[in-house]
Amino acid sequence: FWATTLSSNHGVHILPEHIWKDVDPLEFSNHDIDAGLPLGTGPYRLVYASPYQKIFDLRPDWWAARTSFKRLPRVERIIYVPQQEESQAAQLLLTDQLDMGFIMQVLTLENVLERNEKVSTFSGSDPPYGYLDWCPIDLSLNCSEAPFDDPRIRRAISLSVDRDKLVQLAESDAGVPALHPFTPYEWFAPFIDPLDEILAAKGYGTHGQSEQVAPIMQGIGYRQDEEGMWIDAEGERVEISMYVPQWLRPYGPPLTQQLREAGFDASFDTSPGLATLAQTGEQKASLGCKGPSGVRGMDPFVMLNVYTSQYYRPTGQPVPLTSTTSRWRNEEYDRIVEQTAPLQVGDPELQRLFLEAMEIWVDEMPDIFLSQLIIRYPLNNSRWTGWPSQDDPYGFPHSWQWELLKTFVRLEPTRDV
pLDDT band per the 50, 70, 90 thresholds, residue 296 = low
pLDDT tens string 3-42: 445 555 566 778 899 999 999 999 999 999 999 999 999 9
The model carries a pTM of 0.90
Distance in angstroms (rounded) separating the CA atoms of residues 139 and 224: 23
* Positive or negative: CA dihedral 108, 111, 112, 117: positive
Distances (CA, A) of 18 to 21, 23, 44, 87, 174: 6, 10, 20, 46, 50
Q: Does the structure show a pLDDT above 90 at 396? A: no
pLDDT tens string 40-51: 999 999 999 999
pLDDT band per the 50, 70, 90 thresholds, residue 1 = very low
Residue spans of the domains in the chain: they are 14-129+375-413, 132-373
CATH topology of domain 14-129+375-413: D-Maltodextrin-Binding Protein; domain 2 (3.40.190)
What's the length of the chain? 417
**Average pLDDT over the chain, rounded to whole?**
94
Backbone angles phi, psi at 410, to 5 degrees: -95, -20
Q: Does the structure show a pLDDT above 90 at 114? A: yes
pLDDT band per the 50, 70, 90 thresholds, residue 403 = confident
pLDDT tens string 203-224: 999 998 999 999 999 999 999 9
Q: Which pLDDT value is given to residue 90?
A: 96
CATH topology of domain 132-373: Dipeptide-binding Protein; domain 3 (3.10.105)
Q: Which pLDDT value is given to residue 302?
A: 85
Mean pLDDT of 151-156: 98
Distance in angstroms (rounded) separating the CA atoms of residues 265 and 73: 55
Let me know if the fold of 14-129+375-413 is the same as that of 132-373: no
